């Protein structure tokens, strides 16, 4: 996604464009430094993005004042950690598998 379009007459966007590529089944652990003429500047292993979403949701709830009791915060933190670990292991599918268990 290009954040800002080029100014009239400009050949390039004024804001860098970042793309995400997900690779499944790679055998090595080497991250390429270039891809399709562009520089690789960031990457994530496994299901880290799915796992971190659980943490962000918990922190947002605390910041918004939804959890203000110490016991609520501790319980919420435990749930967030558990969800992060499940998502890290199996990705977004962790949510579906947990729902079917209950």
Q: Is 26 exposed, middle or buried (0-12, 13-18, 19+ CB in 10 A)?
A: exposed
Distance, in Å, from the CA atom of 77 to the CA atom of 56, rounded to the nearest integer, reads 11
Residue 81 domain-assigned? yes
Question: Residue 73: which domain range?
Answer: 48-94
Give the tokens for residue 20. 């995400």
* The predicted structure's pLDDT at residue 60: 95
pTM of the model: 0.56
Q: State the total domains in the chain.
A: 1
pLDDT value, residue 2: 44
Q: With respect to residue 17, please indicate whether it lies within any of the assigned structural domains.
A: no
61 in a structural domain = yes
Both tokens of 64, joined, read 């918004």
Could you read off the pLDDT of 38-71 as tens digits, one per residue?
888 877 777 888 888 889 999 999 999 999 899 9
């Amino acid at each position: 996604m290009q954040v800002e379009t080029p100014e009239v007459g400009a050949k390039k966007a004024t804001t860098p464009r970042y793309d995400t590529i997900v690779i499944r089944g790679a055998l090595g652990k080497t991250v390429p430094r270039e891809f399709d003429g562009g520089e690789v500047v960031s990457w994530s292993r496994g299901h880290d993005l799915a796992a971190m979403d659980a943490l962000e949701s918990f922190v947002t709830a605390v910041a918004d004042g939804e959890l203000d009791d110490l016991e609520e915060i501790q319980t919420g933190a435990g749930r967030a950690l558990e969800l992060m670990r499940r998502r890290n292991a199996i990705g977004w599918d962790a949510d579906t598998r947990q729902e079917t268990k209950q």
